Structure 1
Amino acid sequence: MSLSAFLRSRYGRGFASRAEIEAHHDAAFRRFRAKVMPRSPFYRDMTGLPLAQLPRMNKARLMEEFSAINTCGIDRDQAIQIALSAETSRDFSPLIGDISVGLSTGTSGQRGLFLATSGERRLWAAIMLGRYWPQLWRRQRVAFFMRADNALYRSMSNLLVRFEFFDLLAPFDEHLPRLAALDPTVLVAPAQVLAVLAREHIAGRIALSPRRIISVAETLSPDDAALIRHAFGIGADQVYQATEGVLAMTCSRGQLHLNERWLRIDRDVIDPATGAFCPIIHDFTRKSLPILNYRLDDVLIPDPTPCACGCASQHIARIEGREDDILWWESAQGPRLITSEAIRTTIACLPQKLRDYGIVQRGKALHIWLDGAETGAENALREQLLNLGSRLKCRPPEFVFHTGSPPEIGAKRRRIRVEKGPHIDEFRA
């Protein structure tokens, strides 16, 4: 299966129609309910149910039912101890038999577990290498920046691929000499790390010449994408991967598509005007820890136009962020979703220059930090945001301007976010 997955990922034409995708999913689910669900104590009595009638899952429920859901007989507490020990020691090699265990915090900070058998690791590596290996006839050197290593990631290593892990919890400056010595042909890192490396490269503090750059773990903003292209002369591909699986990848034209070859992804639409939805995942390749009817709180914006690559898998305009971090402004019809793309575009179109910005919605107040802004930027931005509200037929929150550097927004720094709290719930209600 790994070889066929590699060839399909690299040379496959993709799905020609939505009907072809649906037929593929129906066949995959028939196999899954016959061969995998009976091995799960949690699902073995549900094999006759349609997908939509299976229990709705999220990270909290998956963790609660972990011992019963997985098909490997692995106890949740044992898995947590192994994962926590690896996080503390930074030694990510221990396995349970041939099964790797990983710990995820995600953007919500809520702890989650994932499992991967040797077969699942080979399949993942085949898909990734098939899609993103730059030149088959050359040995590749992969630099992988991530919070935690895992046997899943190391499964990319082979005679033709040298894989090196760079721990994001270690001092960043210590990585630069080893990174320069590796001189990676493939650079894989979160978007913010890629942006930092791009600045280091432009400043001449490190010289890199990757043939492929892959952004993972967080949303790649247009600003960071432009900076990366300017620094290295190539654009960054995107892999949208969560604990629950690889949800989307960029195609040969650089457009993001849902990974409908390996997953069925249904939609919980939260904004009919834009089609914005939270994905509901059914993974028919995950045999160790079945992922079925699993709702993520990420918000995706679909692109209704067909992609020039010819694949019918859903084309995604962008990953907007987590559901809890979406801006909502008041309108006559109730709260209206305001995309971060609309805010970024408004700021990018200002005639005045600024070094950086940060925007935090706190209930009905929008706090705006402008760092290094030229004279008149505050008034200009106020006017443009009011114009944006008028065009979208909604009422912006009160604007509260601040000077200086924007606040740090967690490990995955986002320039635009919503601050959690009761005031947001009251506003959304």
Structure 2
Amino acid sequence: MRIAIRAETSRDFRPLIGDVSVGLSTGTSGQRGLFLATPRERRLWAAIMLGRYWPELWRRQRIAFFMRADNALYRGLSNPLVRFAFFDLLAPLDAQMPRLAELAPSVLIAPARVLAMLAERQAAGRIRLAPRRVISVAETLSPEDAALIEAAFGLRVDQVYQATEGVLAMTCHAGSLHLNERWLRIDREVIDPATGAFCPIIHDFTRESLPILNYRLNDVLIPDPRPCPCGCASQRLARIEGREDDMLWWAAAAGPRMVPSEAIRTAIACLPQSLRDYRIIQRGRVLHLWLDGAAPGAEAALRASLAALAGQMGAVLPELAFHAGLPPETDAKRRRIRVEPAALPPAAHP
């Protein structure tokens, strides 16, 4: 932990413990996770990633990787056929654009919010990138961000769902997200029988540096029961719903009902005019809503849509409180829909 924290402070991520790489997660679950990997584990991870996402085997690749921290695990992607470049999320984004342009990446990997920011610059003509793969990591990829990124780069966005506990899911060639059951045993604790939503319980028998056995995550995953056109037998996911402690639960006669974030996003997508951004935060019995750039009538339309949603679910709509702008955020990962302690005031940016 001391080596990992020192690397975070100095931004020098080369030090190892012997030949074991050390890193920290972003800690959005409330506890920073320590990530270790031996040389064998780093080679295996690189083989899985390159085997799945290498655009064209006969061409050299240039990978631009935007993350909060570098790690020997990621540098393991480098080989005579791959040029790997780390871009620090803690550095100003615009200051890194000349180096990104010089790299001209064939593979662009970044959290969803960073990909969206790059897509905005691409659409405005401020950068001109032509990647052959765009991969979203570290954050839940929302439909809004996916549409923006795909329109800007003309590519489907792939996803890698990776946590401190390893690579948990990846998109297949057909674009579906599958659990990584080729390498992990993943059991389920179902928390909402109506949707099949479950928290995964991880067993990884390939790890030697950091055993992961019978480890329950608080991520909520929604299964897709349909077979995938790719033929993969691993569980297909409809989506990653978010963290368990960020699920919206509304009161109902038969007990609390989980409100899928997809239903909230659909209601927002149907508003009279597209928003610049939004946040939905439940604090106790009050649902706070920020609609940045909303058109007149958007609040009334969303109120009606949410009331209809509550009616369909047989639930009671919480008290709604609308605010201007967007709330301040201290989380390293953007979470548009979340739950916070009721005592926090609904402050907003001016």
Aligned-partner Cα distance in 2 for 1:287–1:365: 46
Aligned-partner Cα distance in 2 for 1:210–1:135: 12
Question: Hey, what does 2:119 align to over in structure 1?
Answer: 198
Residues 277/192 of structure 1: CA separation in 2 closer, same or farther (3 Å cut): same
Question: Hey, what does 1:126 align to over in structure 2?
Answer: 47
Aligned residues: 344
What does 1:194-273 align with in structure 2 at a 5 Å threshold? 194-273=115-194
Report if the CA contact (8 A) 1:370-1:406 is conserved: no
Aligned-partner Cα distance in 1 for 2:121–2:15: 35
Give the deviation of 1:420 after TM superposition.
3.2
> Which segments of 5 or more consecutive residues in structure 1 lack a partner in the other structure?
1-79, 424-429
Residues 17-63 of structure 1: CA deviation (Å, up to 9, x unaligned) = xxxxxxxxxxxxxxxxxxxxxxxxxxxxxxxxxxxxxxxxxxxxxxx
Establish whether residue 333 from structure 1 lines up as the match of residue 251 from structure 2.
Answer: no
User: Match of 2:200, as an amino acid?
Assistant: P
> Which segments of 5 or more consecutive residues in structure 2 lack a partner in the other structure?
345-350
Aligned-partner Cα distance in 2 for 1:229–1:268: 34
Give the deviation of 1:406 after TM superposition.
4.4
TM-score for both structures, normalised by structure 2: 0.96
Q: What percentage of residue pairs aligned between the two structures are identical?
A: 75
Residues 376-429 of structure 1: CA deviation (Å, up to 9, x unaligned) = 111111111100111111111011111233443622112111113589xxxxxx
SS in 2 for 1:92: coil
* Aligned partner (choices 298, 301, 305) of residue 219 of structure 2: 298
Report if the CA contact (8 A) 1:352-1:376 is conserved: no
Establish whether residue 411 from structure 1 lines up as the match of residue 336 from structure 2.
Answer: no
Residues 106-130 of structure 1: CA deviation (Å, up to 9, x unaligned) = 3224122121110000000000000
Q: More helix per residue: 1 or 2?
A: 1
Residues 216-247 of structure 1: CA deviation (Å, up to 9, x unaligned) = 00100000000011000001100000000100
Aligned-partner Cα distance in 2 for 1:112–1:297: 13
Report if the CA contact (8 A) 1:329-1:396 is conserved: yes
What does 1:306-321 align with in structure 2 at a 5 Å threshold? 306-321=227-242
Which structure carries more relative contact order (alpha carbon 8 Å, separation 6+)? 1
TM-score for both structures, normalised by structure 1: 0.78
Moved more, 351-360 or 92-101: 351-360
Establish whether residue 347 from structure 1 lines up as the match of residue 273 from structure 2.
Answer: no
Q: Which has the larger radius of gyration?
A: 1
* Aligned partner (choices 62, 86, 89) of residue 168 of structure 1: 89
Report if the CA contact (8 A) 1:299-1:322 is conserved: yes
Question: Hey, what does 1:41 align to over in structure 2?
Answer: none
| CA root-mean-square deviation | 1.3
Q: More strand per residue: 1 or 2?
A: 2
Give the deviation of 1:180 after TM superposition.
0.6
Establish whether residue 110 from structure 1 lines up as the match of residue 53 from structure 2.
Answer: no
Aligned-partner Cα distance in 2 for 1:144–1:354: 29
